[in-house]
Amino acid sequence: MSRRDPIRHRHSLLSDAAGSTAVEFALLVPLYLLLILGMTAYGIYFGAAHSVQQLSADAARTAVAGIDAQERQDLARRFIANNAGGYMFIDAAKLTVEVGDSSSDPSQFDVTLRYDATGLPIWSLWESLPMPDRTILRRATIRMGGI
């Protein structure tokens, strides 16, 4: 072996990139997992929030058919009871319903829904992932009697 062989060997080690892909993969996988889990969790959460909002808006539109305040409340509550199970990510047993004429404007009818989202499968995805509030609160208001 000559004196140049160790230098040539050291140079070949420095220029060899065979394991660089594995090292880059190992460094970036936690970030990619965090992004994928975060997108999944927030997608499910936003889907549930949208379903609660849509349910409250549909119930408010249904209440327009009522002649008086009591009939509007009954129509809205009945609509929610009959249709809550048909909305994605919604468990009807975890809904809290408040319906009635608006306290600030009696010509408006309010439907307020609170949904306990602790049953969604997103809370156990990753403990260090920052998550939104476990209670989804949505409200729909509709004017009674036209414009």
Task: Give the total number of structural domains in the chain.
Answer: 1
CA pair distance 143, 147, nearest whole angstrom: 7
Residue 56: CB atoms within 10 A of its CB come to 26
What is the pLDDT of the chain when averaged over all its residues? 86
User: Which residue range(s) make up the domain with 89?
Assistant: 4-143
CA pair distance 18, 81, nearest whole angstrom: 62
Q: pTM, whole model, 2 decimals?
A: 0.77
- b/e map of 7-26 (b: 16 or more CB within 10 Å)? eeeeeeeeeeeeeeeeeeee
Whether 107 and 69 have beta carbons less than 8 Å apart is answered as no
For the segment 108-124, what is each residue's pLDDT rounded down to a tens digit? 999 999 999 998 888 87
